[in-house]
Structures are given as structure tokens and as C-alpha cells.
Structure 1
Amino acid sequence: MFTPIPYGRLNSRQKENYNFHKVAARMADFGFNCLRLTDDWQGADFIACHVDGQTFLKVQLKGRLCLDKKYIGKEIHIAFLRGVDCFIYPHDELLATALSNGAMNAESERWRDHGQRHWPQPPAWGMAFLANYKL
């Protein structure tokens, strides 16, 4: 009755829905209830509310490790899946790490010209950073 659908056959909106549910299911294991937003609110695709009643995360879904100038100072967490692994990291902490270790600077072409930087395969320093944010 149930036949798995290959991820590659999904359109972009279906992939975003799929990724949301995969991330939300993983976050549930850590006491979070995820509320999907109909449009980006303060840069977030969803809000993750912890059972402690005090922790609320604004989360943006992405397909990979990334930075974007539009998220700076907004207390955004970025969530992405890499194989069976799920990562949710604070955007501004990754930015600080990338700048402090020299992996990126204000003159990095993509950052300077487009306000973005992403890594399809996280570099070694990125994986070290992500080790603290793997669910």
C-alpha cells in the first residue's frame, strides 16, 4: 500500500515539505514541537518550541551548510540534512567561526558580490563546527 518515493522525483516545494518533516521528527526526539510557517517570518521557515516553555528557535531550512547576510543578527538557526544526519546550527556562530579561522572574509567573492556562501560538501573546519549541532 505504501511505496517510498525517491527524493529526486520530488519538485522543490515537495522537497521542502519532506525536509521539514524529517527535521521536525528528529527535533521531536529532543523535546521540540515544530510549527511550519506559511511564509518566511523574520527569516524563518518554522519555529521550534521546546517543552521547557522557554526555548524557541527560528529555523530556516536549507539543503547544505550555508551563510547569508540577510540572516545576520536575526538569531536564525539553519537546518539541513546530509544523508541520515540532521544538523541545526546558529547562523551567526558559523559566520564568526568562518571569519575567525580565515575560511572566509569580507572580500570573499561570493560573500562580497552576492551576500551568500555555501558549501555542498562541508569542509573539515565546517564538519568540526557541525559536530556540536548534529541531532
Structure 2
Amino acid sequence: MSEQEAFARVPYSQLNSRQQENFNFHKVAARMADYGFNCLRLTDDWQGADFIACHIDGQTFLKVQLKGRLCLDKKYIGKSIHVAFIRDDDCFVYPHDDLLALVRASGALDEQSERWRDHGQRHWPQPPAWGVAFLAKYRL
């Protein structure tokens, strides 16, 4: 492979799932660097996190789970997990339990929701209007 070919852009859709996760990590980590975070990739999910984001203040450490979209998962409840995902040119890093509290308070999610009740998950390929408003605070 020539050097010129090595620097040809590769469409995201041509990457396998592991390559997509690596791609997303680097995109999110680069964006978080603009906000003073150094992101350390973990070799396995530690306490639900794919990576740790350490702020330059020396006091702020975020456990971050990479996802492809806005989502909730019962396995992250109470673990101080932030969820990061990329949508178009935007990067979002939001506290999982804050989103859960909002959705529950609005009545948009309860044990009557089949996917939540039976699978412990809920995700939105396109954020609904309330999701867009929530995410506005967490756009990097």
C-alpha cells in the first residue's frame, strides 16, 4: 500500500464493529480533549465503562460508555456512568442516570415499556424532541 493510499478516507460503514468502536473512541476522545480531558481506553468494561476521562483539574474522573445513539440500560443505573455517542458532527457525553430520571419523571419510560421491562434497555435511533433538549446541555 502506498503512503497516498494509506491516507485515503475509509467510510465508517466499511468498518467492522470493533473498528467502529475504536473509531468512535478516538473521535469522542479528541472532542473531550478540547474540554481538558485525557481519555484512557480500557481493555474491558470496568464498572460499565469503556474508557475513563480524566480532567486536567485532577479531581474530575468520568466513567464513559460508548454507544451509537441515545440510550438507557438498567445495568448502568447507580454506577455514575456517562454515555458518549456521535451523531452527525456532534458529540454528546451525558450522565446516564440524569437521562433516566428525566424520562421516568415525564412518564416516557416505565415497567410497561416492553423493551425496558424484558431487556433492560431503551434506545432511540433519532432523539425525540425531549431528548434533543436534554442533549443540548451535553453537546461537545
Q: TM-score range by the shorter chain?
A: over 0.9
CA–CA distance in 2 between the matches of 1:124 and 1:103? 12
Q: 1:100 aligns to what SS in structure 2?
A: helix
Q: Hey, what does 1:10 align to over in structure 2?
A: 15
Q: 2:68 aligns to what SS in structure 1?
A: coil
Q: Equivalent residues in 2 for 1:1-135 (5 A)?
A: 1=4, 2-135=7-140
TM, length-normalised to structure 2: 0.95
Identity of aligned residues (%): 79
Could you list the structure 1 runs, at least 4 aligned residues long, displaced by more than 4 angstroms after superposition: none
Measured after TM superposition, the shift of residue 107 of structure 1 is 1.6
Q: 1:40 aligns to what SS in structure 2?
A: strand
Q: 1:39 aligns to what SS in structure 2?
A: strand
Structure 2 residues without counterparts, runs of 5 or longer: none
Measured after TM superposition, the shift of residue 102 of structure 1 is 1.4
Alpha-carbon RMSD: 0.4
Aligned length: 135
Flag the structure with larger Rg: 2
Which digits, 9 at most, give the CA deviation of each residue in 1:46-99, with x for residues without a partner? 000000000000000000000000000000000000010000000000000000
CA–CA distance in 2 between the matches of 1:50 and 1:28? 9
